[in-house]
Structure 1
Amino acid sequence: MIQSIVHIALVVKDYDEAIDFYTKKLNFTLIEDTYQPEQDKRWVVVSPPGSAGATLLLAKASKPEQDAFIGNQSGGRVFLFLNTDDFWRDYNEMVSRGIEFVREPKEQEYGTVAVFKDLYGNLWDLLELNQDHPSSKRMK
């Protein structure tokens, strides 16, 4: 059996501001932006550059109870993990584009990591895993 996670839904306040952040600040690729008139919403998918894995589905909050989860989808824990092949290149680029890092770069036994916020406050790890890390081997 072969299965994979295709999309991870990320609740956002506004489609266009989210697209702007992910494509201009994080250099993600806009994969799809399709209006769905029957539901009066958009199907917006973005992906990190060069990624062949899961994508983010930017899902605009459509009910008042969903608003509370914008920027807090994981109760204040790191929510998403962005692995890179060059930590310092991407870290420096992100800093120059105004990304807020809330934990400075640190060398760990699994690789180099720093924590940043997205435009709504969700926490992300930017990391470069060591070559011998099991998740690193999956990327090849």
Structure 2
Amino acid sequence: VLLARASKPEQEPFIGNQTGGRVFLFLNTDDFWRDYKAMVAQGITFVREPKQQDYGLVAVFEDLYGNLWDLLELNPDHPIAQRSA
């Protein structure tokens, strides 16, 4: 993943708000709790706590630039997971 820095002053207001506050990046994992605990230990800020959804286990975290990411372990029986296999 490459995150680009603003190269012009007019780009600076958009840092961390490219999507109007919505999640647009997804970090898939095969062991949610391992990665969640490791990320918390490293100081990653989670803005939504882990929640079990029908498609899998998910929590939302923020990167250094304010972008929102889903940490996601897909339910292997859900159609979304089967399409990505």
Runs of 4+ with >4 A deviation = none
Aligned to 1:65: 10
1:23-42 matches, cutoff 5 A:
none
C-alpha distance in structure 2 between counterparts of 1:71 and 1:121, whole Å = 4
- The structure with the largest alpha-carbon Rg is 1
- Report if aligned partners of 1:73, 1:79 keep a CA contact under 8 Å in 2: no
Local SS of the residue matching 1:92: helix
Aligned to 1:124: 69
Aligned to 1:52: none
C-alpha distance in structure 1 between counterparts of 2:79 and 2:12, whole Å = 36
Aligned to 1:79: 24
- Report if aligned partners of 1:80, 1:125 keep a CA contact under 8 Å in 2: yes
Tell me the TM-score normalized by structure 1.
0.56
* Letter paired with 2:50: P
Q: Which has the higher strand share?
A: 1
Please list every run of 5 or more consecutive structure 2 residues that lacks an aligned counterpart in the other structure: none
Aligned to 1:17: none
Q: Which has the higher helix share?
A: 2
User: How many residues of Structure 1 are paired with residues of Structure 2 in the alignment?
Assistant: 85
Cα shift at 1:70? 1.1
C-alpha distance in structure 1 between counterparts of 2:69 and 2:8, whole Å = 25
- Report if aligned partners of 1:99, 1:116 keep a CA contact under 8 Å in 2: yes
Q: Percent identity?
A: 76
Which structure is richer in relative contact order (CA contacts within 8 A, separation 6 or more)?
Answer: 2
Please list every run of 5 or more consecutive structure 1 residues that lacks an aligned counterpart in the other structure: 1-55
Aligned to 2:49: 104
